[in-house]
A and B are shown apart, each in its own frame.
Chain A
């Protein structure tokens, strides 16, 4: 049994050990690694769209209208001769901004109110939870549609609408966690030494709720993207020359009967790829961060 311990000669240097560990992780989670790479590529493409996209998103070219895939236009062109690939790349900007923005807003507001609800309990909690019940009584997409219609048709309002529909998820999550951990000994200890309530929550309790929030937020990214795309598919949020995946799919829908399939297929494929990537990462983050959830799926 003595030779189980590695002999000094084979002990790897720290960097190669770290690399090897990384390699093992990547190999075990190759699907998530691909998903992460897809998101990274899409983010980089969105940020550097001005340099990466082969054409300007709105550059028309009457000579090249409704062309299929070619070397000049990798994913073809639309009726105005605009390059589909370039429009998809520029669209990533607005789609990802709204998805990240809505998720961030919902996360911050939802966690704060959830922490208050879990900390004070009593009638504060009661009122907050009845409000949450009322919001959750709407199918999320329908509520987002109503809010956007009511606030007015703009991208900012779509962002507000999506984050409003997502707030209850974080709120309930954090409230549950706080209700649980506030009874723990370290919470009592922090209280006893005289920490004010806000310090107790934000310094001592909330950091311990982070793992489930991160998982929730990653999965919510995919949902936010789908909602955004569906809203602009039915004509809310995006104004015409602006390219966005959902509204591009809607434009492409008209060309199904004439057979220009690339116009609806590729923008939708971009949505599927991104949502799939966020969901896969969310799932493996859950396995990684929250061992209790392992095996449940």
Chain B
């Protein structure tokens, strides 16, 4: 099949999923207890005022009309208002998204940086100490709740050793944020050569990123290990050994290159874990991202941000998985066939 055909077939699977996702988030908003009009008006107004508000908010319309309106709102970037900040949810999101992005990317970086070599070493030294350590790390990493590892890290590195900063956001107090270019403090302060901000943002990022990164390291290491084992048995690697090519080049050059292709497929799952873990880790470290925003809104029963957060994460998840499918189709043309 041509690449275009593959692309279109994948796309045709994504569209019904996206519709289904909005239908689910709409239903969740619809069944949410607490009439949005009452919440918006406050408890002390008369039923007439509430009815008036209901009408102006379109709540008296049948569900399918409301769904149509909801869908067109989403398409126009209208995610409703937050009743606690009184601002459009989209604006609140835009302000907090860079923090989440920075944390997610840093965690992914840590997970890949540690997970890939661990997987490679476990495969190369199969059934030795390093393989067993890798397995223990994998099994334990999956069993530990992220909020708990985060707290453990805080206790050890902040309270006991004093090397980590208090969990109070992206910069230490007194440090002004770098000039905004990408919104990621680490990148921006690098670009503007703002060394105090760079140091402070890395310092603040250290524990939350490590917590989140370690929680998704296990599936990456496991996947690298199993594909490496398979590839190390293959003829072309044996030929490379026989030709006397240096060990390091065979493992990290010839073998790892091919072993990484299947790893692309689990990056989608890893991204899902990261988004879920984000919400919890952000709330542990008071990280001012969208997950923390959603959880704070849960406490104040502010439904707008919660449902928008869920919708946003799901849309992002679908898109990321779509992109991964396409990239995989480019890297490994065989899968376009099925």
A296 cross-chain contacts in B, Cβ below 8 A: 226
Q: A134 touching B20 by the CB < 8 A rule?
A: yes
Q: B17 touching A133 by the CB < 8 A rule?
A: yes
A256 cross-chain contacts in B, Cβ below 8 A: 151, 154-155, 158-159
Pairs of residues from A and B, 3 with the lowest C-beta to C-beta distance, nearest first: A134-B20, A268-B148, A141-B276
5 more CB-based (< 8 A) A-B contacts, given A135-B20, A256-B151, A265-B155: A137-B20, A138-B313, A139-B317, A272-B145, A297-B222
Question: In the bound complex, what is the Cα–Cα distance between A135 and B310 (angstroms)?
Answer: 12
Q: How many residues on chain A are close to B (CB under 8 Å)?
A: 47
Q: A138 touching B317 by the CB < 8 A rule?
A: yes
Q: B222 touching A134 by the CB < 8 A rule?
A: no
A257 cross-chain contacts in B, Cβ below 8 A: 159, 166
Q: B145 touching A246 by the CB < 8 A rule?
A: yes
Question: In the bound complex, what is the Cα–Cα distance between A35 and B248 (angstroms)?
Answer: 40
Confirm or deny: B152 has a beta carbon within 8 angstroms of a beta carbon on chain A.
yes
Distance from B174 Cβ to chain A, minimum over Cβ atoms (Å): 20
Confirm or deny: B259 has a beta carbon within 8 angstroms of a beta carbon on chain A.
no
Confirm or deny: B245 has a beta carbon within 8 angstroms of a beta carbon on chain A.
no
A268 cross-chain contacts in B, Cβ below 8 A: 144-145, 147-148, 151-152
Which of A225-263 touch B at CB < 8 Å? 226, 229-230, 233-236, 246, 249-250, 252-253, 256-257, 259, 261
Question: In the bound complex, what is the Cα–Cα distance between A147 and B276 (angstroms)?
Answer: 14
B314 cross-chain contacts in A, Cβ below 8 A: 137-139, 142-143
Given A131-B20, A137-B314, A150-B31, A142 and B159 touching (CB < 8 A)? no
Q: A233 touching B159 by the CB < 8 A rule?
A: no
Q: How many residues on chain B are close to A (CB under 8 Å)?
A: 54
Q: B310 touching A138 by the CB < 8 A rule?
A: yes
Q: Mark A10-47, 1 if CB is under 8 A from B, else 0.
A: 00000000000000000000000000000000000000
Given A235-B299, A265-B152, A275-B143, A152 and B310 touching (CB < 8 A)? no
Q: B276 touching A139 by the CB < 8 A rule?
A: yes
Confirm or deny: A108 has a beta carbon within 8 angstroms of a beta carbon on chain B.
no
Chain-A contact segment, one of B60-68, B86-94, B277-285: B277-285
Distance from B148 Cβ to chain A, minimum over Cβ atoms (Å): 3
Given A134-B20, A150-B31, A235-B298, A140 and B154 touching (CB < 8 A)? no
Question: In the bound complex, what is the Cα–Cα distance between A103 and B196 (angstroms)?
Answer: 50
Confirm or deny: A222 has a beta carbon within 8 angstroms of a beta carbon on chain B.
yes
CB-contact partner of A271 in B148, B152, B280, B298, under 8 A: B148
CB-contact partner of A264 in B25, B33, B140, B155, under 8 A: B155
Question: In the bound complex, what is the Cα–Cα distance between A280 and B294 (angstroms)?
Answer: 34
Confirm or deny: B38 has a beta carbon within 8 angstroms of a beta carbon on chain A.
no
A226 cross-chain contacts in B, Cβ below 8 A: 143, 145
Question: In the bound complex, what is the Cα–Cα distance between A150 and B143 (angstroms)?
Answer: 28
B265 cross-chain contacts in A, Cβ below 8 A: none
| A–B pairs, 29, beta carbons within 8 Å | A133-B13, A134-B19, A134-B20, A139-B272, A140-B272, A142-B314, A143-B24, A143-B314, A145-B306, A149-B298, A150-B29, A150-B303, A151-B33, A230-B280, A233-B147, A234-B295, A235-B298, A246-B145, A252-B151, A253-B151, A256-B158, A257-B166, A265-B155, A268-B151, A271-B145, A272-B148, A280-B139, A297-B222, A297-B226
Given A138-B313, A234-B283, A276 and B21 touching (CB < 8 A)? no
Q: A229 touching B279 by the CB < 8 A rule?
A: no
Distance from A256 Cβ to chain B, minimum over Cβ atoms (Å): 5
Confirm or deny: A279 has a beta carbon within 8 angstroms of a beta carbon on chain B.
yes
Confirm or deny: B32 has a beta carbon within 8 angstroms of a beta carbon on chain A.
yes
Residue of B nearest to A256 (CB): B155
Confirm or deny: A130 has a beta carbon within 8 angstroms of a beta carbon on chain B.
yes
Q: Mark B7-24, 1 if CB is under 8 A from A, else 0.
A: 000000100111111011
Confirm or deny: B210 has a beta carbon within 8 angstroms of a beta carbon on chain A.
no
Question: Which of B23, B151, B159, B294 has the most chain A CB atoms closer than 10 A to its own CB?
Answer: B151
Residue of A nearest to B295 (CB): A234
Question: In the bound complex, what is the Cα–Cα distance between A256 and B16 (angstroms)?
Answer: 47
CB-contact partner of A279 in B20, B33, B142, B226, under 8 A: B142
CB-contact partner of A146 in B142, B273, B284, B306, under 8 A: B306
Confirm or deny: B318 has a beta carbon within 8 angstroms of a beta carbon on chain A.
yes
A236 cross-chain contacts in B, Cβ below 8 A: 298
Residue of B nearest to A131 (CB): B20
A272 cross-chain contacts in B, Cβ below 8 A: 140, 143-145, 148
Q: A149 touching B159 by the CB < 8 A rule?
A: no
Q: Mark A269-296, 1 if CB is under 8 A from B, else 0.
A: 0011001100110000000000000001
Distance from B161 Cβ to chain A, minimum over Cβ atoms (Å): 13
Question: In the bound complex, what is the Cα–Cα distance between A234 and B147 (angstroms)?
Answer: 9
Confirm or deny: B194 has a beta carbon within 8 angstroms of a beta carbon on chain A.
no
Question: Which of B158, B159, B279, B314 has the most chain A CB atoms closer than 10 A to its own CB?
Answer: B314
Confirm or deny: B39 has a beta carbon within 8 angstroms of a beta carbon on chain A.
no
Q: A276 touching B139 by the CB < 8 A rule?
A: yes
A145 cross-chain contacts in B, Cβ below 8 A: 279, 294, 298, 306, 310
Q: A229 touching B145 by the CB < 8 A rule?
A: yes
Distance from B307 Cβ to chain A, minimum over Cβ atoms (Å): 7
Question: In the bound complex, what is the Cα–Cα distance between A297 and B226 (angstroms)?
Answer: 7
Confirm or deny: B255 has a beta carbon within 8 angstroms of a beta carbon on chain A.
no
